Chains A and B, each alone.
Chain A
């Protein structure tokens, strides 16, 4: 994790072998796609001539996202991390279920994603951003509220009736 000014950055990088994805596709077909990719990802990549490379770069993006999220155990819910392609061609991440919950717990406010593939190699990098200053101020406000609530409650308990 690297710091830049007041913003804490978490970076994930992953490289995937396109032939490995191709072999999994040949061996397991739709079962493989359905366990790893969302319906939208599958539809987009199936329509491409380079289906394996398209899927490989998306798996790299999912794995890079997991690295940026820093979960405490091996990740298994790959469909909870989706690469969404906008009409402009720009790709962005959509997180669901445990991935979204973990990002929230980590205080992550935004992700930046870049993907590329060339020949047998597919790669993706994900940068997760969170602003420490705002989180700290919010945390302090919460702690202050809790402190005064506790003082009020204690005062009520010890006040002579």
Chain B
């Protein structure tokens, strides 16, 4: 469920060079075309959707490197299995 939401937001804000449906949860999003600026708007859209805020420590360790990394960060922030 949460992965579907991440993929939908990634489709709207990621500006990837490839179709989001064609990449796996482990695919490197930067290699798929995620730019620095798109990662900012992606972060803001995720924060809004899940009502959370990504702390700097989480951003530094590569929170947007992949769909799986985003999901792991969100689960940590929300504090529950989702």
A residues adjacent to B (C-beta < 8 A): 16, 20-21, 24, 27-28, 31-32, 35-36, 59, 63, 66, 73-78
Contact = CB atoms under 8 A, between A and B. Distances in A.
Contact of B37 (A28, A59, A73, A77): A59
What band does the interface of chain B fall in when counting residues whose beta carbon is under 8 Å from A? 10 to 19
Contacts of B30: 74
Interface string B24-67: 00000010000011011101100110000000100110101100
A28 B44 contact: yes
Contacts of A63: 36-37
6 contacts: A24-B41, A28-B44, A31-B47, A32-B44, A36-B40, A77-B60
A76 B44 contact: no
Contact of B62 (A28, A31, A73): A73
B60 A73 contact: yes
Interface of B: 15, 30, 36-37, 39-41, 43-44, 47-48, 56, 59-60, 62, 64-65
Contacts of B39: 74, 76
A28 B40 CA distance: 11
Nearest to B58: A76
A24 B62 contact: no
Contacts of B36: 63, 66, 74-75
A72 to B, nearest CB: 11
Contacts of B37: 16, 20-21, 24, 59, 63
Contacts of B44: 24, 27-28, 31-32, 35
Contacts of A28: 41, 44, 48
A20 B30 CA distance: 18
A79 to B, nearest CB: 10
